[in-house]
Structure 1
């Protein structure tokens, strides 16, 4: 039976390939995808923004281009008159499903690491809202909570271009099983 995208957010997604999982398994690459989703950036601009050397940035950019998460944008003339080659996000990463079982232990926390780095850079004054909670959930309850929250986020993602003139906000949605 075909899944209805208006009811089931996973109907819009497809499983990530091994190459895509590998490309998204590093916090720096996740940050590059996000930054290039805001605006077209050159390798040097990315290196400066992320505090890494240009060779490191280029390595990660090439991984993302190869996996289809970044694409070259039109070349432009920079402030110094030199030709610049910027990159932009393809938006593909949002619509992929990656099961934790598909990741090795060193890759599982890449999204959390990337988020922590971005939050540290933005500062505590940047927090617009937060919610900390603990819930007793069956597997079905957990699936329903995930489905409903992802559906709300998807609706905002799909219409984000309409709000491109407004301030950019980042976030992370993560539920973990309590160690108790």
Structure 2
């Protein structure tokens, strides 16, 4: 009998936690811990080109808002190791219309940082794909589509795309599987021309 994979821990942002995350360096720190695993403030500083004092301060702020935590199995000696407390973050759409302008401003910072990170990842792939085996270059995809839909149909489409991607988690292979790599998928669903 196959063992069910553990469900992913996803943090749904609240006005309070959003304020703690909506900072470019904090988002980079969290992304790095999720993508590359536990690290110390010094290692993250080297990785991101920051001072260890700065990364240490922002890691403590992330911890205060529940985004990162100690990595106890790594905590040997004096250096503190950090890890992400969740595998993902979900933005509650109601925050975009929050009556508090500082919350709406934090949503804007958060979404712009996500978009910037996605663009950077894609640009990095385009610039380095010649370093990868041919089968990886052939398996990648950069596509865009334009459809005329209603908001209700768009919600359904996005949900089905996300459901399909999630269904592939059970096919994920171990880290030491030869020929395997972490694969990133970005989804962006947004309107461009509106008919009243």
Same fold (TM > 0.5)? yes
- What residue in structure 1 maps to residue 186 of structure 2? 172
- What residue in structure 1 maps to residue 46 of structure 2? 48
- What residue in structure 2 maps to residue 8 of structure 1? none
Q: Which sits farther off after the overlay, 113-122 or 31-40?
A: 113-122
Name which of 84, 88, 100 aligns with 1:89: 84
- What residue in structure 2 maps to residue 68 of structure 1? 66
Write the mapping of 1:4-153 to structure 2, written as runs, cut at 5 A: 15-37=12-34, 38-74=36-72, 75-77=75-77, 83-91=78-86, 93-94=88-89, 96-99=90-93, 100-102=96-98, 103-104=104-105, 105-121=108-124, 124-126=127-129, 128-153=140-165
Q: In the aligned structure 1, how far is the partner of 2:30 from the partner of 2:37?
A: 10
Bigger Rg, structure 1 or 2: 2
Q: Which sits farther off after the overlay, 65-74 or 98-107?
A: 98-107
* Aligned residue pair count: 162
**Bigger RCO of structures 1 and 2 (CA < 8 A, at least 6 apart):** 1
Pair 18,156 (structure 1): closer, same or farther in 2 beyond 3 Å: farther
Tell me how far 1:29 sits from its aligned partner: 2.4
Give the conservation status (yes or no) of the 8 Å contact 1:43–1:58. Answer: yes
Q: In the aligned structure 1, how far is the partner of 2:66 from the partner of 2:172?
A: 20
Q: Alignment partner of 2:118: what SS? A: helix
Q: In the aligned structure 1, how far is the partner of 2:171 from the partner of 2:71?
A: 20
User: What are the ranges of 5 or more consecutive residues in structure 2 without an aligned counterpart?
Assistant: 1-8, 99-103, 130-136
Give the conservation status (yes or no) of the 8 Å contact 2:10–2:87. Answer: no
Q: Alignment partner of 2:111: what SS? A: coil
Tell me how far 1:155 sits from its aligned partner: 3.3
Q: In the aligned structure 2, how far is the partner of 1:89 from the partner of 1:172?
A: 20
Give the conservation status (yes or no) of the 8 Å contact 2:68–2:83. Answer: yes
Tell me how far 1:162 sits from its aligned partner: 4.9
Between structures 1 and 2, the one with greater helix share? 2
Give the conservation status (yes or no) of the 8 Å contact 1:115–1:171. Answer: no
Q: Scaled by the length of structure 1, what TM-score is found?
A: 0.73
Q: Scaled by the length of structure 2, what TM-score is found?
A: 0.68
